[in-house]
A = this chain, B = another copy of it.
């Protein structure tokens, strides 16, 4: 596959990665959208086989700053997939019941079952991101969570789940424009949350938190993809490409019948 994500080298800082880049893509937006539509047809076929096979599982983790495009990516990449075989799990502010458990509890409860694709819209990573930036737990607590998360994800992979983790990377200017648009366009007002402005002031802290989280939990079995996401058409194409590539490698198969279809006549 052509590389369509950014790599975080040992000395790189996320804030220095170009959020408007289009790695692996030559050509404009229109061609990317068309190719994304073509890939969606492949996705639909692969998903049907995954569902029929009912053996493997796919977990897609989406993380981003506010306005980074998590909802939009889900709408644009996954609309059209048979709702029977796909589920979105949203991780908002934890409930009392969730807070009364360890932080992985609510994530574990929502991982995919056989044959399913589950998309985590935010995830257990919030517990080393928003929780860290806002000092909701001491450093020693969030710091040891990287190891928990690696262990948790390795277990899921060992037990038959493929994990793809996407960080949708926008820059500070892009976020300003998108937040302002939520104020300026009445049909988008409902998406605006004043709390987002508070978090925006902590931009640099978030970049550092993402950087550490990605570095510490990027593994061969559960890799992170840093998707430049200022350009929505590129973001959609990149996520779709990685997804279709991964499903292709999973290579789900229609199960062989354990009976002889030719020997049965329905009366």
Assembled-state Cα–Cα distance A30/B177 (Å): 44
B261 pairs with A192, CB closer than 8 A:
yes
Size class of the contact patch on chain A = 35 or more
Residue of B nearest to A177 (CB): B266
User: Which of B184, B186, B190, B266 has a CB less than 8 Å from the CB of A197?
Assistant: B266
Q: Does A265 contact B (CB under 8 A)?
A: yes
A254 pairs with B200, CB closer than 8 A:
no
Q: Does A179 contact B (CB under 8 A)?
A: yes
Residue of B nearest to A180 (CB): B266
Assembled-state Cα–Cα distance A26/B87 (Å): 37
Which residues of chain A from 69 to 91 have a CB within 8 Å of any chain B CB? 71, 74-75, 78-84, 86-88, 90
Copies of chain A in the complex = 2
Q: Does A223 contact B (CB under 8 A)?
A: no
A261 pairs with B184, CB closer than 8 A:
yes
Which residues of chain A from 216 to 267 have a CB within 8 Å of any chain B CB? 254-257, 259, 261-262, 264-267
Q: A26-48 toward B: CB 8 Å interface, digit per residue (1/0)?
A: 00000000000000000000000
Q: A152-192 toward B: CB 8 Å interface, digit per residue (1/0)?
A: 00000000000000000000000010011001101101111
Residues of A within 8 A of B (CB): 52, 71, 74-75, 78-84, 86-88, 90, 119, 121, 176, 179-180, 183-184, 186-187, 189-192, 194, 197, 200, 254-257, 259, 261-262, 264-267
**Pairs A-B, 7 closest by C-beta atoms:** A183-B261, A179-B266, A189-B257, A52-B190, A75-B82, A180-B266, A78-B83
